């Protein structure tokens, strides 16, 4: 394999214990070194045999000859072992704590997975006649009812496929509402503490984006917001709780000010996990908010297909909800409204976001999670998530700088900075040190309002014992960074691969494999295994 110019190479025992006897395999106990498929298989063999046809069918489908794919052929044991060994080099929530802040990597209950695989949910097709999928439509309608109830909103658009897709949906509904009243506006305000996709979604919808600064306490500067409001401001896109892990206590005042100026309020609901069952966004004056089902209601990130980011809407935006949507008929059945000609009176949909409801796997998992917890259980989800985050915050604030700790408790995530590290040490060194301790690193360098940010979200699914183990590891690594321990610069030592020069690896990735020449010279055949 060609050597990556970033200095990428396997870790070896000599990295830690000095010179070690040479090995013949590169393996370290049960951590097996895995070569590329091109190094395992051969392009002149296959893993299966096919009988040749004797009836002139060799020409293939439509008379087209099957040509060589120029890929290595592997037997079944070779293929299974290859991907199993690769999977051992991956980290997942089933292995341990996943402390990514702003991502809510919680455990996905197996009950939800079982429900998603039930016949009638897992095997339906979007083009089936509606009378054959009444149960699926009822499930969508039931899930929509839960989302509306939990948020205190008036309606919900179920079709958006992800958080950013939901943001676009909400902004398009806001634009449609403003245009319907003959008040086309050009600016969307986005606070510094909002999620990074918010300005991108507003710009994609055709708006000019302007920032609103944060206070020293990490909240929206209400005075600066009010000073900027005017007849050109269509909306404010605010994240609450925000990306500093803090609740916006002046949210109602923000909404009232925006409404008084003729604008509308979009809330990024990615952090709804922190307040579900405790706070209804509709009571805070929110007009539109997307909900990431994978964050709050435990569906996987994608889950083998589209994700899901339903958008709840206020009464003012309900007429402009996108197609399609489910309605219950007077006879008790369910209908998926897909055409503008079938719209209810008073409805003025801005159109479609997608062709089909493709997220049944997400809908079934989310509803199973809601029904298994109940309203009281969902409230406890938020309470436990906030409790765990504050436990992490207070357990680390003496060894890691916590810029907002003095302003009170955090919500679902705790944020730290690299202040206090020895010269030459930064957040990346702490993150790489965590890998050696068997943990996935936290979110790094986000949000941008905190220098060298380390954003940690333990979620509600972690026990005190697992948090204590993580805290002990992070305290040790933070102490090494503060003391200037040069060995930390070499981390990770025990991972399958050493530290990359991440800038060089991103800009000049090596995505080709060279067949070794017989004489060992670097003149073998190049096989492309990735894009440029």
CB 248 within 8 A of CB 236: no
User: Where do the structural domains in the chain lie, given as residue ranges?
Assistant: 153-367
**Helix ranges restricted to H, 71-216:** 76-88, 110-116, 134-151, 163-180, 197-204
pLDDT of residue 442: 96
CA distances to 334, 383, 448, 472 from 406, rounded to whole Å, are 52, 21, 20, 23
CB 167 within 8 A of CB 353: no
Structure tokens at 221: 């500067």
SS3 letters for 33-60? CCCCHHHHCECCCCCCCCCCCCCCHHHC
Structure tokens at 469: 């183990």
Give the span between the Cα atoms of 367 and 359, in whole angstroms: 12
What secondary structure letter does DSSP report for 267? E
Peptide bond into 127 cis (omega under 30): no
Q: Could you count the other beta carbons within 10 Å of the beta carbon of residue 11? A: 19
Tokens 């679902």: give the residue.
412
β-pair partners for 455: 415, 443
β-pair partners for 83: none
Structure tokens at 156: 């919900």
pLDDT of residue 25: 72
pLDDT of residue 277: 96
The rounded average pLDDT for each run of 10 residues, N- to C-terminus, in the chain (532 residues) is 40 47 69 84 74 55 64 88 90 91 90 91 90 94 97 96 94 97 95 90 96 94 97 97 95 98 96 96 98 92 75 97 90 86 72 86 95 96 98 98 94 97 97 95 93 97 96 97 96 88 86 65 53 38
Which has the closest alpha carbon to 363: 139, 64, 163? Answer: 139
Torsion angle of C-alpha atoms 415, 420, 421, 424, degrees rounded to 10: 120
pLDDT of residue 111: 94
pLDDT of residue 523: 53
**What is the biggest distance separating any 2 CA atoms in the chain, rounded to whole angstroms?**
83
Give the span between the Cα atoms of 193 and 450, in whole angstroms: 10
pLDDT of residue 320: 95
Tokens 């709804």: give the residue.
272
Sign of CA dihedral 514, 518, 519, 520: positive
Q: Which residues make Cβ contacts (< 8 Å) with residue 455, sequence separation at least 6? A: 100, 101, 102, 243, 245, 413, 414, 415, 442, 443, 444, 446, 447
In this structure, which topology does domain 153-367 adopt according to CATH?
Answer: 3.40.640
Give the span between the Cα atoms of 190 and 239, in whole angstroms: 9
> DSSP 3-state assignment of 4?
coil
Which has the closest alpha carbon to 168: 135, 205, 138, 114? Answer: 205
pLDDT of residue 366: 96
Tokens 């209950």: give the residue.
109
């Amino acid at each position: 394999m060609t050597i990556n110019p970033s200095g990428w190479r396997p870790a070896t025992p000599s990295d830690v214990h000095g010179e070690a006897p040479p090995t013949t395999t590169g393996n370290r106990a049960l951590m097996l070194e895995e070569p590329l498929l091109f190094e395992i298989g051969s392009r002149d063999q296959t893993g299966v045999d096919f009988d040749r046809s004797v009836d002139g069918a060799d020409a293939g489908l439509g008379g087209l000859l099957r040509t060589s794919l120029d890929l290595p052929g592997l037997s079944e044991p070779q293929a299974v072992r290859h991907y199993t060994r690769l999977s051992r080099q991956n980290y997942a929530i089933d292995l341990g704590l996943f402390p990514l802040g702003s991502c809510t990597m919680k455990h996905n209950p197996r009950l939800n997975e079982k429900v998603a695989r039930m016949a009638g949910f897992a095997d339906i097709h979007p083009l089936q006649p509606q009378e054959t999928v009444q149960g699926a439509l009822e499930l969508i309608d039931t899930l929509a009812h839960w989302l509306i109830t939990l948020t205190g909103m008036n309606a919900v658009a179920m079709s958006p496929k992800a958080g950013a897709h939901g943001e676009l949906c909400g902004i398009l509904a806001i634009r449609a509402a403003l245009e319907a009243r003959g008040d086309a506006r050009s600016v969307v305000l986005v606070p510094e503490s909002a999620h990074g996709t918010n300005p991108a979604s507003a710009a994609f919808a055709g708006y000019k984006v302007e920032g609103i600064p944060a206070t020293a306490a990490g909240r929206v500067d209400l005075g600066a917001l009010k000073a900027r409001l005017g007849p050109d401001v269509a909306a404010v896109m605010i994240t609450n709780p925000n990306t500093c892990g803090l609740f916006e206590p002046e949210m109602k005042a923000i909404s009232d000010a925006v409404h008084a100026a003729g604008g509308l309020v979009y809330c990024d609901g990615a952090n709804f996990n922190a307040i579900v069952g405790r706070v209804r966004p509709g009571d805070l004056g929110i007009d539109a908010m997307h909900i990431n089902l994978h964050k709050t209601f435990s569906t996987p990130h994608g889950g083998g297909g589209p994700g899901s980011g339903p958008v709840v809407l206020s009464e003012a935006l309900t007429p402009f909800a996108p197609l399609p949507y489910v309605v219950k008929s007077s006879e008790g059945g369910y209908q998926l409204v897909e055409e503008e000609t079938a719209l209810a009176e008073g409805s003025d949909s801005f159109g479609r976001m997608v062709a089909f409801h493709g997220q049944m796997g997400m809908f079934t998992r989310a509803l199973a999670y809601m029904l298994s917890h109940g309203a009281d259980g969902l409230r406890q989800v938020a309470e436990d998530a906030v409790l765990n985050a504050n436990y992490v915050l207070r357990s680390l604030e003496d060894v890691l700088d916590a810029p907002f700790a003095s302003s009170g408790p955090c919500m679902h995530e705790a944020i730290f900075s690299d202040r206090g590290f020895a010269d030459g040490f930064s957040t990346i060194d702490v993150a790489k040190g965590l890998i050696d301790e068997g943990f996935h690193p936290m979110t790094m360098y986000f949000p941008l309002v905190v220098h060298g940010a380390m954003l940690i979200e333990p979620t509600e699914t972690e026990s005190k014992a697992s948090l204590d183990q993580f805290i002990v590891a992070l305290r040790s690594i933070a102490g090494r960074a503060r003391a200037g321990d040069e060995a930390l610069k070499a981390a990770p030592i025990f991972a399958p691969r050493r530290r990359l020069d991440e800038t060089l690896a991103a800009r000049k990735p090596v995505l080709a494999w060279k067949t070794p020449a017989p004489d060992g010279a670097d003149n073998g055949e190049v096989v492309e295994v990735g894009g440029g």
